[in-house]
Structure 1
Amino acid sequence: MIKQDGEHSRKLHLQELRADLIVAGGGLAGVCAAVTAARTGTKVILVQDRPVLGGNSSSEVRLWVLGATSHMGNNNRWAREGGVIDEILVENTYKNPEGNPLILDMLLLDKVKQEANITLLLNTAVYSLDKKDAETIDCLRAFCSQNSTEYILKAPLFCDASGDGIVGFLSGAAFRMGAESRQEFDEPMAPTTEYGELLGHSLYFYSKDTGKPVKFTAPDFALPDISVIPRYRSFNAQDYGCRLWWVEYGGRLDTVHQTEDIKWQLWKVVYGVWNYIKNSGKFPEAETLTLEWVGTIPGKRESRRFEGDYIMTQHDLVEQREHDDAVAYGGWSIDLHPADGVFSERPGCNQWHSKGVFQIPYRSMYSRNISNLFLAGRIISVSHVAFGATRVMATVAHAAQAVGIAANLCTKYGVTPAQIIEKGYLSELQQNLIASGQYIPGLRLKDHKDLVHSASITASSQLSFSGFSQPDLWKPLTMAAGQLIPLEKGPVPVFSIPCRAVSKELLTCELWLSSRKASFTPDVLLASRQLQIEGEGYAELDFNVSLEESGYVFLIFRQNENLELGYSNQRITGILSVFNLINKAVSNYGKQSPPPGSGVDEFEFWCPQRRPQGENLAFRLSRHADVFSPENVRNGVDRPVDQPNAWVAGSRDPAPCLSVSWEEPQRISTIVLSFDSDFDHPMESVLMTHPETVMPFCVRNYRICDDQGNELYSRSGNYQTRNIIRLDDAVSTKGLKIYVEHPLATVPAALFGLRCYEN
């Protein structure tokens, strides 16, 4: 028994913890930074002021995770983010195809707890800090309400991934809040005062059909007059969760210190909306619906943005400027919202897309005036306009992984974040990032420790791609359709396309390129042809043009609903059909037509259809395209970019095998394989269900043998992109054989990367 009288002076329980890196904030950015750092051997303390991880993606807010793929609604092909965030999204799709936000909570907690180098503090809020000097943080002070414990958290390095930037703010790091003028960065999209300078918060709700009539009595604080919300005319009783992103408010207020006021206003709106849906008599389909869940904390979009050594602007995104210190990329639209949110007469968002993904520089990932402070999440160094695209969760998670690798280098070399550039460690940062699964546009992995670089590589077969044998189904050309085809430089082969029409119809065919290398916006017309089609057969298309360099071409067929084209059920890594689709969810109306003077490009959208649709056009080539060589597994790029970058086995090979051999025995303890988990698939974390739990291109079953045929490793049921195999005992061998099984009868086996290490 513990008994104390009232005369004692009492203090909170105090605990001091030390690490190499302290990450404040357990959203996806903080999680990915912490996990990435921990895997390098860096000791990490991850401090999170909420009971679960995930931030806006958690069950507390329930926003889907999105980034460069943009619901497959833009021209960013094979753009899903790599590294830890890829692991998380792939695993969530496999284990949680229904999009249950509670299961995502579980997966994130499990991901962090698997790392022995992470100390996780939940329900622990940073409230103060001490500094060594004006430019250096010494320790953070935090309090956990659940165990009534105060923590002193000490480390040489800190990362602020807290959303509002509590560590940066308390440390004196330079920051901005609100929108810059158009003149400061020459940004045509800088908002007017009337539009507003801040994006607001959103609060979601879930409904459930009980199968019987349900009454609803609104609380007294519910918004009484729903007509003050201009959108009330288009309410939909079936919408719930983050499809209600437009329930937004707070852009005219202080989005840090007035968050509780904003939350109450959003509660008024939510309960007012539901009262209108249930009791106005205009939604008979809502009779059996009940209000299952309402958010208790709002999802924040914008507050402070901190200044690094570089501030990204609209020009970096739209022009896709290249940076020597690129460590990540984004591809969400420049997505700005009116400050009045749900009460505005304006559209709920104003989205303008770039022609492709844009690089994120390392200089935007650390504070310019606090020497040991990394920046991660939505607070990185960007203008308000650029923030419109960099703020989304998959993008911030991907960028934060650079912090994890950078922290390891800072510890290794005893330098500050900025000194990684000053002291010449930038290339090592970029290469280590790519080796960890990160994709950085324009860069390749050049890993001198990888033994595969000195090996001879052969395969039991290689797909000799000359198109598809026959059409398996026919579809009318009700919208313009196209095919992305990887070709080698030189004369373009003749295309044959199956088509049919009852009577004579005009088929308009075009061959396009992208003006930007490794981009997927068709904006350079090479040639066009028009053919008369009658009956059923193959149309021959000889464009009589030549490619100056290898890359993807767009074979496009303009709309004619009286024509049908043949499609194939076969799917191949790096081969994709695209359509001039409309996707209103991301302001895609088939063509982007920005207002004059906006500084945004005009172009057509060419996007894939979601499976089970999206079959390839059953075209044929007059000669095969040699683009699936086994040599691709060591070219340092593990996704389709300007080429498929994969070894693809022949579809009729009964036992596909990739072999590597050396003249002298090599000692091998680690093998890394990179499979095709379909980087074009967006993998939204909640609400959007998926037709598969495992991507159809992903090799499920494989085994690895040495040069004597001894099995070193085997796996069944793989679904992940990267498999890292650490052998219990290192082997000495002059060769390895990787036996893979075709994932499906219609999908030949593919492998992006193979790497071998001594340790």
Structure 2
Amino acid sequence: MASDFKDTSTAGNQSGRKHQYKTETYDVVVCGGGLAGFCAAVASARHGARTCLVQDRPVFGGNSSSEVRVTPHGAGAFHVYAKETGIISELTIEERARNHEPIFENGWTNSVWDMTMYDMAQQTENLTFYLNTSIFDVRMANERRIASVVGYVANAELELELIADVFVDCTGDGIVADRAGCEWRMGSEGREEFNEPHAPLQASGDVMGNSIHFKTKDIGYPAPFTAPDWAAKLDNPDFFYKQGRKPNDIRGGYWWIEIGVPWHTIYESEDIRHELTRYVLGIWDWMKNKDPLTKELAANHAIDWIGQVPGKRESRRIMGQYLMTEHDPINRTVFEDEIAYGGWFLDLHTPGGLHAPTSEHASSEGYSETTEYAVKSYCGPYGIPLRSTIAKDVDNLMMAGRNISVTHAALGTVRVMATTALIGQAVGTSAAIALRKGLALADVPSEAIREVKQTLLRDGCFLLNTTNEDELDLARNARVTASSQAAVSGAEVKEELRASGELGHHDELLRQRKGQWIAISEGVLNRVSVCVTNQSDTPQIVVAKIIPVDHIWDYRSEANPALATTELEIMPGTYQWIDWDVQLSEADGLKLGSYVRLDLLANPYIAWHCGDGIVPGHTCAYEMGSSKMRRDWNGPTRSFRVEPAQHAYSPEHVISGVTRPYHFTNLWRSDANEELPQWLELQWEEQQSIRQIELTFPGNILWEYHGYAPFHHDPQCPKDYRIEAEQQGTWVQVLAVKGNYQRHCRHTLEKAIQTKKLRIVIDATNGDPSAAIYEVRCYQT
């Protein structure tokens, strides 16, 4: 970094105007420190680019920060094992491990999250950052190239000019791109332009609105509240209960406190902030003093926090090399330049928010998961192309966040923060690679996309259509063995539930078709069994099918022709194990190293019980409509038994190239009946020189971020482990780690070791009886 500092104050003249100017030069400047910008800057710096991150607020995180307190959502909210990994995963795992506070919903983020991000920024080499700094000008070298951006540091009377080779606009509002003269869109495209099902018939300036949140606290005794005169006067229960604004929880967390049009979400943000504040006070006055359904529940609750920085959903969208439309997430378009993925539903909020006749569609329908709107809005996981992050009008500008090149309809799913964090990491990585290789940004999707994708995978990210093909990874050529491996025989039911005879959960009833994924590793499947209850007084028939599926997110009801179909007769009674002798083999189409789905078709008198705990890589779904399935409840494992047991966790999976359940389990897992320590061994025919060892462990990908408790350490994640190398016939310890809870761990040894055999020995987990690893990588340097 080069820096030129000039102080224009007059010595000895205290009444004179004091203004300071500072000029600095970097490889990459990232403008905007929300999750997209933060991940872009960290990724760029980690890959050797001298990077500056500029944020206009005093903390990182944008809408996720303690100032706004929107819970980061993403694909994990709707798809089991789809939680975002990479830098965002490092952050969320660390925050949950450090924080005493539950993340109930919006409004519950505290400063531990801010400090987790600040700590990472401080520890990242090659990264400089400026907080409280607003970009107000862009200076062009020519009509297609930015020379510098200029910002003002609040409370410092400092004007800051930042010169760079590459700029990344993560401002949300697209401030840099706008000042640089880029084409952008704002508003809703009409149906006729792209024939998007969610688009309105006519184009308009309508955008999704801004929100502020509030949080309450139970103080243990009556807490009176009197709204000021200027607060919104809300006296009609229909506003809440018939228009999709149900106050579900006294503690807060209401995303629907939202206002946009008729105000402009950029230019009139302060007017919106004031209007939202009026409504927050009016809403709490209704809940506290007027609503017969909530006022007793709220008696001991007091307002603990009200946000004053509106969280913005939509404004400018910068036109890039490719414009994503709604058809891409709905149809899961496969992009050659895929660099991230999403999986939130197509969530387009009603323009006007609190001033509209009803709230967002899903809410106004009571969050029913089987309506026509719910079916057409459920999507993903789907890929996102790099071209949508490269500005088409300026040669050295990229975007990450809600301002990337998408239509209004597509933004409904792409905009959520965990998704934009993945985009940010990919953009920062791509920028650094482009600079290192001397490539124009526009050429990266065609000339360096393989390196970008392979780098993202190595850094802990996941891509839908890319596996580890890193030629430098020595582990890919190793023979892998282990001390033991687990087998899947099924998922039993809790004994106390069987004794009680009661349903474990209302979602166990077969109101719709339900399916359970089962990993197949053997050449035969002789018998499957399910534990069910018949609530009627007469025998019931349930149609059962075994269907081969492409992966764990293959939600087609009839994904492929069934391998077997039968009718199960179920007598009246509770918790019965029903056997089906399927007698399937490879000759019948049973494919090793893949999933089948055991489906039970609808019969509302029958409950298919959940298993006791989750069998890793074995999820379930139900039919929501139009021959489409979706994750059932929070993705448990339904009760099942299989004969013979399937050895679905072989040690070779650690070099499968995939670091989560997808087409198969992709996990080595030791036999739970064998005590720890357990080990995994890599062996080569020739001696290898190894300096760097990279491990990906299980944990923290089953659900989204706020599904995990305070001080959470995932039980499956190895806690204490050692790395050993065989030296002259003796195992020598080269590294020992204690107290781990992170998923992705990278270890660089003091000096390279020469060996034909390497072992990872797991002495203790964070609670699970089995040792487990998704991936092992080894490198010379």
TM-score (norm 1): 0.89
> 2:548 & 2:240 partners in 1: Cα distance?
39
Unaligned runs of 5+ in 2: 1-8, 104-108, 363-373
Q: CA deviation at 1:330?
A: 0.4
Q: In 2, distance between residues paired with 1:358 and 1:128?
A: 36
Residues in 2 aligned to 1:722 and 1:366: alpha-carbon distance in whole angstroms = 29
In structure 2, what is the equivalent of residue 521 of structure 1? 555
Of residues 66, 88, 91, the one that matches 2:91 is 88
Instruction: Give the superposition deviation at 1:605.
Output: 2.9
Distance apart, 1:191 and its partner CA: 1.9
Alignment-derived partner of residue 144 in structure 2: 135
Superposed CA deviations along residues 330-372 of structure 1, whole A, max 9, x for unmatched, are 0000111111211222232456434531110010011011100
For the residue of structure 2 that corresponds to 1:378, the secondary structure is coil
* Equivalent runs, 1:670-685 vs 2, <5 Å: 670-684=692-706
Q: Does the 8 A contact of 2:187 with 2:204 survive in 1?
A: no
C-alpha separation in 1, matches of 2:232 and 2:533: 58
The residue aligned with 1:333 is 345
Report the counterpart of residue 98 of structure 1 in structure 2. Answer: 102
Residue 324 of structure 2 is matched in structure 1 by 312
How far apart, CA to CA, are the structure 2 residues paired with 1:744 and 1:40? 31
Q: How does 1:56-455 map to 2 (within 5 A)?
A: 56-70=63-77, 74=78, 76-96=79-99, 98-99=102-103, 100-192=109-201, 197-227=206-236, 230-231=239-240, 235-236=246-247, 238-241=249-252, 243-280=253-290, 282=292, 283-350=295-362, 352-422=376-446, 424-455=447-478
Q: Deviations over 1:264-295 (max 9, x none)?
A: 11112112222333333742333332222111
CA pair 94-510 structure 1, distance change in 2 beyond 3 A: farther
Residues 541 and 267 (structure 1), Cα distance of their counterparts in 2 relative to 1, 3 Å cut: same
Cα 1:127/1:228, change in 2 over 3 Å: farther
Report the Cα distance in structure 2 between the residues aligned to 1:341 and 1:469, rounded to whole angstroms. 46
Q: Contact 1:491/1:547 (CA < 8 Å) preserved in 2?
A: no
The change in CA–CA distance for 1:404 and 1:493 in structure 2 (over 3 A counts) is farther
Question: Is the aligned partner of 1:641 residue 2:671?
Answer: no
- The CA deviation at 1:298 is 0.6
Counterpart of 2:719 in structure 1 is: 700
> Cα gap change, 1:355/1:383 in structure 2, threshold over 3 Å: closer, same or farther?
closer
1:377 is paired with a residue whose SS is coil
What are the Cα deviations for residues 185-240 of structure 1, in whole angstroms up to 9, with x where unaligned?
A: 12121124599721011111112222233333323321235549822676538444
Q: What's the counterpart of residue 60 of structure 2?
A: 53
Gaps of 5+ in 1: 581-589, 593-600
Residue identity in the other structure for 1:540: D
Measured after TM superposition, the shift of residue 463 of structure 1 is 2.1
- Asked if structure 1 preserves the Cα contact closer than 8 Å seen for 2:231 and 2:282, the reply is yes
Select between 440-449 and 469-478 the one with higher mean Cα deviation: 469-478
Partner SS state of residue 418, structure 1 = helix
Alpha-carbon distance in structure 2 between the residues aligned to 1:625 and 1:533:
26
Q: Is the 8 A contact 2:23 2:160 kept in 1?
A: yes
Kept in 1, the 8 Å contact 2:529–2:580? The answer is yes
Matched, 1:539 2:578: yes
Change in CA separation of 1:746 and 1:43 when aligned onto 2, cut-off 3 Å? closer
2:544 is the alignment partner of 1:510: yes
* Alignment-mate amino acid for residue 236 of structure 1: P
Alpha-carbon distance in structure 2 between the residues aligned to 1:280 and 1:537:
49
Q: Does 1:603 align with 2:628?
A: yes
Superposed CA deviations along residues 311-339 of structure 1, whole A, max 9, x for unmatched, are: 00111011111111111110000111111
Deviations 1:626-680 (A, max 9, x none): 4322111111100000100111222223332111122333221111111111422
CA distance in 1, matches of 2:766, 2:580: 31
Distance in 1 between the 2:539 and 2:701 partners?
37
Shift of 1:541: 1.3
Instruction: Mark the CA change 1:61 to 1:716 in structure 2 (over 3 Å): closer, same or farther.
Output: same
| CA offsets 1:234-275 (integer angstroms, 9 cap, x no match) | 65384444x311111113332111111111111121122223
Native 8 Å contact 2:189 2:203 kept in 1: no
Letter of the aligned partner of 1:539 in structure 2?
Answer: I
> Alpha-carbon deviations, 1:526-576, whole Å to 9, x = none?
244332334776422134664464532222345667667666546442123
Shift of 1:68: 0.6
CA-based RMSD: 2.8
Deviations 1:487-510 (A, max 9, x none): 259664421334566976425252
Distance (whole Å) between structure 2 residues aligned to residue 636 and residue 379 of structure 1 = 32
Q: Is the 8 A contact 1:251 1:338 kept in 2?
A: no
Residue 191 of structure 2 contacts residue 202 of structure 2 at CA under 8 Å; is this kept in 1?
Answer: no
Say whether residues 1:728 and 2:739 are aligned partners: no
Provide the C-alpha distance between the structure 1 equivalents of 2:576 and 2:299, rounded to a whole number of angstroms: 54
Q: Which residue number in structure 1 is paired with residue 106 of structure 2?
A: none
Equivalent residues of 2:550, 2:594 under 8 A apart: no
SS in 2 for 1:188: coil
The one-letter code matched in structure 2 to 1:531 is: L
Checking the alignment, whether the CA contact within 8 Å between 1:34 and 1:44 is kept in structure 2 is yes
1:681-718 deviations in Å (ceiling 9; x for gaps)? 1112xxx6638712232222211111031111122222
CA distance in 2, matches of 1:539, 1:673: 41
Amino acid at match of 2:580: L
- CA offset at residue 522 of structure 1? 4.4
Residues 1:438 and 1:194: Cα distance change in structure 2 (over 3 Å): closer
Question: Does the CA-based 8 Å contact 1:237-1:285 persist in structure 2?
Answer: no
Match of 1:587 in 2: none
Q: Given the superposition, is the C-alpha separation of residues 387 and 134 from structure 1 closer, same or farther in structure 2, using an over 3 Å criterion?
A: same
Q: Is residue 577 of structure 2 the alignment partner of residue 553 of structure 1?
A: no
Alignment-derived partner of residue 567 in structure 2? 530
Distance 1:704 1:489, change over 3 A: closer
Partner SS for 2:410: helix
The more displaced of 351-360 and 660-669 is 351-360
DSSP 3-state at the match of 1:334 = coil
Q: TM-score, normalised by structure 2?
A: 0.87
Alignment coverage as a number of residue pairs: 727
